[in-house]
Structure 1
């Protein structure tokens, strides 16, 4: 028995998958799989690669990760400093303060990708917005505070905060899902759902709708209306990372991303359920199972009796380990600003350097020497210099 067969069989047994179940996923007979594992049949190299990829979908350790990817909360108070200190537990002295804000709010406090907007109108209250990077940054603060997302949401609910939006992301690390296949199933009615609409976009197609103005998300599937309180977005994360950062598709750890996007009442009920159960996986997949199920066509039966698709069954919990909340704390960096400088400012600076060389002058250094930083720029430098212990409050 060669090394590849031994490794493959050991993994299958470690993952607790029977030959019968795996052979169905592979699309081959159990007898043929048994012959391969017994060394009596030798599959081609490209078949071996496909077998490895499909087996890895059953890996209970690394197949899926679950995390918060967007949090928007409104606090019914005008006491913005109190919210920052007592709920977020951050030092307001390190925040950039501006006398304007989006959404008709009067002022804002910002630290990195964490945005807090305030108003004198108690109906508008204080609004906290954490997008993807903001969630990762706040996780680094939560970790340093010895708190969790559960603790944070409990603190929010204790002051009768209102959830405005909550995005939950499930990262598919091994290709359990296939966005093109699920798109086809939507088109062929191999999908039982409470949603009335779906939209799909091919790789590289420009998407224009509210916050989705992105180029290069890979194949993307929206299920449900973007105007409703709940909808689903699936897209090829590996392709997105290739377009944005040039990371080869086969080197990207996340293959696909499944996002459950909840607004207003749905977001509120989800957080309440989460705090009741204290089990994010149960909360999330109960919502998914309520709204959608992908099936395989069987014209000998009624559509309602068609079997759940094997990939989808694995995704929602069959043959995989228990999912827990994943955190990926990241400190805020000025990478985005530096990238903008590299694209927009650096060519002009290079031209000034060229002029200095031609004229034998020192214009660039003189401009930098006489430049005055704004209060915002000085505060950003303070943020960069501060340790996480200085920024958080215990």
Structure 2
């Protein structure tokens, strides 16, 4: 499997326009795809939601503007509406720049399948003061099972939230910990370049200029972080050469591609939770009803549960169902010939 990059968080504030105009003219999504919800966050009063695609606003036009937030799953869901050269991240940013905008956060994720990064090694070099960067702090997190002692998660974060961070974590461990069965990957490390405010606006400008996302990511990483050789004669570590493993990782840019495969994420968490937490209980109850009474009683019991659930479905639930259907009907690739792909 080839290493890849993708946008994994996209947040921007648009001034002096309505949320409906943002949906129609910027996101290019029909209003009927969204549920209007009477609450928000960060002092916003309302928001439109199409599953994890969120547009926050106030009842009256204010200096706060309209806030568009696509977290990781929201980015994957929005890609269902991208269509090659006609609509992609480049053209979206270009449409945004026709308004007064401020990009508040953009994350670029690098999925690594070739073992070119090791989280324990990165942590060891940070701990030994062999990381050259403008950042002042790093954090290391480890998650384990109390019963077995097995490590089920590990993360290194360099830099401060609100400015720029480079976060590297074991994605394979994370997915398995969530109960997902991964059969096509032996190793999966994710490195995320997280940029806020000024840094996010720089990334947006680079995207607008049609600079390949792979080049944007590796240029930022290579310019802000270095891991240098230990036990060098030069006591000034900033003059030391890069250690071999870091140099090899930086060179993976040549074989890293833009991720263009649709992940179809809507309701995926619900599916996993239902399979893991509910399926066994339902099976026990079905068998109990079947053995105690009859097959008809058991099936009626299951049908009644579905009926109760159907009565609880909200407008937001309906929009998530519609988004799920769209995702299943769309092809896996959302446009090979893209403006934001590097030229071959």
Tell me the TM-score range normalised by the shorter chain.
0.7 to 0.9
Which structure has the highest strand share of the two?
Answer: 2
Q: Where does the alignment leave 5 or more consecutive residues of structure 1 unmatched?
A: 1-61, 207-214, 390-394
Offset at residue 134 of structure 1 (A): 1.5
> How many angstroms apart in 2 are the aligned matches of 1:278 and 1:87?
21
Map of 2:6 onto structure 1: 67
Contact 1:139/1:328 (<8 A) preserved: no
Summarize the Cα distance change of 1:366–1:73 in structure 2 as closer, same or farther, 3 Å threshold. same
SS at match of 2:114: coil
Contact 2:38/2:46 (<8 A) preserved: yes
Offset at residue 381 of structure 1 (A): 4.0
Does 2:33 align with 1:94?
yes
Q: CA RMSD in A?
A: 3.2
Map of 1:229 onto structure 2: 163
Map of 2:19 onto structure 1: 80
Contact 1:154/1:275 (<8 A) preserved: yes
**Post-superposition CA distance 1:228-249 (Å, at most 9, x none):** 411111112222233223546x
Q: Which one of the candidate residues 309, 316, 341 is aligned to 2:243?
A: 309
Alignment of 1:154-303 (within 5 A): 154-204=94-144, 218-226=153-161, 228-247=162-181, 251-252=184-185, 255-276=188-209, 278-302=211-235, 303=237
Q: Where does the alignment leave 5 or more consecutive residues of structure 2 unmatched?
A: 332-344
Map of 2:336 onto structure 1: none
- Which structure has more relative contact order (CA 8 Å, sep 6+)? It is 2
Summarize the Cα distance change of 1:101–1:345 in structure 2 as closer, same or farther, 3 Å threshold. farther
Higher Rg: 1
Q: Which one of the candidate residues 329, 332, 337 is aligned to 2:270?
A: 337
Which structure has the highest helix share of the two?
Answer: 1
TM (norm. structure 1) is: 0.70
> How many angstroms apart in 1 are the aligned matches of 2:180 and 2:313?
35
Offset at residue 164 of structure 1 (A): 1.0
**Post-superposition CA distance 1:15-40 (Å, at most 9, x none):** xxxxxxxxxxxxxxxxxxxxxxxxxx
**Post-superposition CA distance 1:34-63 (Å, at most 9, x none):** xxxxxxxxxxxxxxxxxxxxxxxxxxxx65
Alignment of 1:103-122 (within 5 A): 103-120=42-59, 121-122=61-62
Q: Which one of the candidate residues 73, 78, 96 is aligned to 1:133?
A: 73
How many aligned positions are there?
Answer: 317
Map of 1:40 onto structure 2: none
SS at match of 2:259: coil
